[in-house]
Amino acid sequence: MPADPGLAELTADRRLRRLELSVTRRLDGLLQGRYRGLLPGPGSETAGSREYRPGEDEVRRMDWAVTARTTVPHVREVDADRELTTWLLIDASPSMEYGTAELDKRELAVAAVAAVGFLTGGVGNRLGAQVLSRDGLRRFPPRSGRTHLLGLLRALLTAPRVGDHDPPPRVGGQDGDDPAPPGPDLADGLAGVHRAALRRGLVVVVSDFLDGLPDDPREAPPWETALRRLAARHQVLAVEITDPRELELPDVGLVTLVDPETGRRRELWTGDRALRERYAAAATAQRDQVRQALRRSGATHLPLCTDRDWAADIVRHVHTQRRLAAAPPRAARGGVA
């Protein structure tokens, strides 16, 4: 299925209609099971029992009656709550404005938010959001209804980009500028969601997760502790947004790379094959560092890339999560990505 045209080519209202049509048409089968949502819900309505999966199930969900009767540990299966509160943390920092394919990373993040909003938008369900940008953390209180979701999407689509008004912050280096004051980072955004999301529910973090990654891959990113704290209380879905040019350099001669977060520049000769190979190896190690941090945090990982069919990737993810939830323990452990 071909990828959607760039959202930036359309007006805000036309982009909203395009997003809504893309989600409702292409994810129609998933919308019929909206109370199952993007992840099997924590819920409170008993729906049977199944064998306990060490490392995956919470001990507090043990079904002691069935365990005593069968002498095999079992946990209670529950249906998702009919009233679900979903919190979104949307990374709108300058690094999310990069893109070399059909969509840039920010447009893909908005598409992911639209999918989450429509998939979790059942009757009585509420959606809240916090948008992290270099100017601060913008909050959208949890509300229900299509009007609220479209208002959030419109705010994301019309938010100013770096370069619309002011130049990006510069850091001392070859240009000799003073360091820009640091804005809120991803850890601050996660802590804000943790304070706001008082009731157990679903938290979706949409980001490239590049914020503050240490050079040593053995070190934990600064946002990992905050994400682990969220995952201890809520179901957490981490939507990782990437672009193919972040993973490898094209052979196009002399290029100037600009760090969108700081404005620091560096010129590279991409005709050097060894340089391109070192870059690809470092980029691969960086993405693996992110994946490992998300896994340690207990978050479910959904990678989306600007050159891929994002709707198809979301469909595959939801089907995989439902299959794992219904699979026997041995098959489920072997199928975890």
pLDDT along the chain (337 residues), means of 10: 50 75 74 54 58 75 86 74 82 88 88 90 85 90 91 88 54 46 82 91 94 86 95 93 89 81 81 89 92 95 93 88 67 42
Query: Which pTM value belongs to this model?
Result: 0.77
The pLDDT value given to residue 183: 67
Q: Which residues pair with 257 in a beta bridge?
A: 266
Around 122, how many Cα atoms within 13 Å sit in the side-chain half-sphere?
17
Tokens of 129: 């959001």
CA distance 119 to 30: 7
Cα separation, 159 vs 93, in Å, equals 11
pLDDT at 87: 95
Give me the pLDDT at residue 176, please.
43
What is the DSSP secondary structure assignment for residue 272, as one 8-state letter?
A: -
User: What is the β-pairing status of strands 74-79 and 45-51?
Assistant: antiparallel
Q: How many CB atoms lie within 10 A of CB 82?
A: 14
pLDDT value at residue 287: 93
The predicted pLDDT at position 195 comes to 93
Residue with tokens 């510069």: 170
